[in-house]
Structure 1
Amino acid sequence: MNKPRFAGLLTALLGVCLIPPLAMAQSAIEGTWKIDLKRMQMPKKPDVLLLQDGMYQCKTCVPPVSVKADGTDQPVTGHPYYDMLAVKVIDDHTIQETEKKDGKVISTSTTTVADDGKTASFNFTENNNNNADPITGQGSMTRVAKGPAGSHAISGSWRTSGYGDVSDNALTRTYKVEGDSLSMSAPTGESYTAKMDGSDAPYNGDPGTTSVSVVKLGKHVVQETSKRDGKVVSVAKMTISADGKSMTIAINDKLHGSNMSFVAMKQ
């Protein structure tokens, strides 16, 4: 299943009219920001899953995944975060997924479909190679369409409803400005330092993003573009509130053809 990566795409502006616009953005962006889970707008485009005849398919994964659902490690290609996937059927309403990269467990998740089949709940743990604490969380999904007759209850189209809880290390980012460069660091070990002129800079600690560019679009708007091996994977447009205490981030996920938004609060 496509699990969102919680990127801290955050910035802000000061409202002091005597300071040039770029200087205002640079001053206010510094500090730590945290995503408010209650103010997330999840993608409307659903995930499409199928578990039938001993095979598990994630048809909307990029690239699509098709593996045996026998609980053993199955090789997958084209995914930056994992190269092995094990899908175990716990019962007729529950499955467990384990992702590995180079033999190391990267993530585990358990998804359980409600008895009426209309909703599902999931919990997950994500690890990385940055010697950081794992990310943990839980959330819920709503069914959009049923799966074929005779398939497992997880089959069908699902839209993520929201997250009831996610560990703070996935929700917080810290920013610092030095000259014309913006630096970001995260508890998960991700970081970058980029000039605010739209030029590419290395993105560290996330195999799904290899470079990033940051550009100021207007007095209250900054845009962050993430790339993987030169290809744009997402574009985040960040709009600052008048008081500089919150930021609305609209994300265009180029890989999956979907959009989402959330609000981050300055800590």
Structure 2
Amino acid sequence: MLAAQSAFDGTWKVNMNTVDFPKKPDVFLLQNGTYECKSCTPPYVVKADGTDQPVTGHPYYDSVAIKVVDDHNIEETDKKDGKVVSASTSTVSSDGNTMLFTFNDSSNTNGGPPVTGQGEATRVAKGPAGSNVVSGSWRTTKIEGMSDNATVWTYKASGDEMTMTTQTGQSYTAKLNGAEAPMKGDPGVTSVSVKTIGKDTLVETDMRDGKVIGVFKMTVAADGKTAKLSFDDKLQNRTTNSDATKQ
């Protein structure tokens, strides 16, 4: 059992300057009026004519609209049940090796303010001959201006339970023995299990309809003010590492 003041108690914030993004790239193909997201889970293919195109298997959106602005710029609008939940832009540099992107995402904010920010990706591989310059493999290298609602969360231990809350409306209260508990407010994560390793490490396993989709690990430093984070995305086979600071 944890004492009332466990190492995890309090509000934490990811330091975006410390994020080590996954090495596995995103892969897109824009050619002959069709846009394909090969690295999405599940992948999808839609007409790139700016109209809403239905997609299935995605808990946060059910249609995608791709507008080709010009040879180096596209705009994407995602909707769920006819309502816009995400808008993004992608701009490829004149040399074709860097992509700048912006995002405004309310698909998982439960009616609250959207998650916003901008970032940069570096080309890993080119697309096929004749395809739009957006095509190919891209590795995210930087995200800047990320809104706090995407990077801040709070833990509160009580006896043998841990409660987690976020600024975007997700929460759970779980036993610390690894028993499954419901996640509230997240259409893509239906339940979690939480356990501690010693006094300074917490492991949260995220599930969707009983299937493990991700594992989050947090290790608090001896001073109790900082922590090392890792998230293993089982759906996309990617791991992201970063640091967090207690607020």
Q: TM-score range by the shorter chain?
A: over 0.9
User: In 2, Cα distance between the equivalents of 1:205 and 1:126?
Assistant: 15
**Bigger proportion of residues as strand:** 2
User: Mapping of 1:134-213 within 5 angstroms?
Assistant: 134-213=114-193
Does 1:215 find its partner at 2:195?
Answer: yes
CA deviation string 1:202-228 (max 9, x = no partner): 111111100011101234321110000
Identity over the aligned pairs, expressed in percent? 57
The one-letter code sitting in structure 2 at the alignment partner of 1:131 is: G
Structure 2 unaligned residues grouped into runs of 5+: none
Higher mean displacement: 53-62 or 171-180:
171-180
**Equivalence for 2:87:** 108
**Equivalence for 1:265:** 245
| Contact 2:3-2:158 at 8 Å conserved across structures | no
User: In 1, Cα distance between the equivalents of 2:148 and 2:160?
Assistant: 29
The 3 A distance-change label for structure 1 pair 130 and 220 is same
State the SS of the aligned residue for 2:231.
strand
State the SS of the aligned residue for 1:169.
helix
Does 1:37 find its partner at 2:8?
Answer: no
Residue in structure 2 matching 1:126, options 105, 111, 114: 105
The 3 A distance-change label for structure 1 pair 179 and 40 is same
The one-letter code sitting in structure 2 at the alignment partner of 1:218 is: G
The one-letter code sitting in structure 2 at the alignment partner of 1:101 is: K
Extract structure 1 runs of 4+ deviating beyond 6 A.
none
The one-letter code sitting in structure 1 at the alignment partner of 2:188 is: G
State the SS of the aligned residue for 2:6.
helix
CA deviation string 1:191-244 (max 9, x = no partner): 111111101111111111000111012343211100000000001121221111
User: In 1, Cα distance between the equivalents of 2:17 and 2:4?
Assistant: 26
The 3 A distance-change label for structure 1 pair 119 and 24 is farther
**Equivalence for 2:63:** 84
**Equivalence for 2:74:** 95
Please provide the CA RMSD for this pair: 1.3
User: In 2, Cα distance between the equivalents of 1:91 and 1:202?
Assistant: 45
State the SS of the aligned residue for 2:212.
strand
**Equivalence for 1:11:** none
User: In 1, Cα distance between the equivalents of 2:206 and 2:105?
Assistant: 21
User: In 2, Cα distance between the equivalents of 1:249 and 1:232?
Assistant: 19
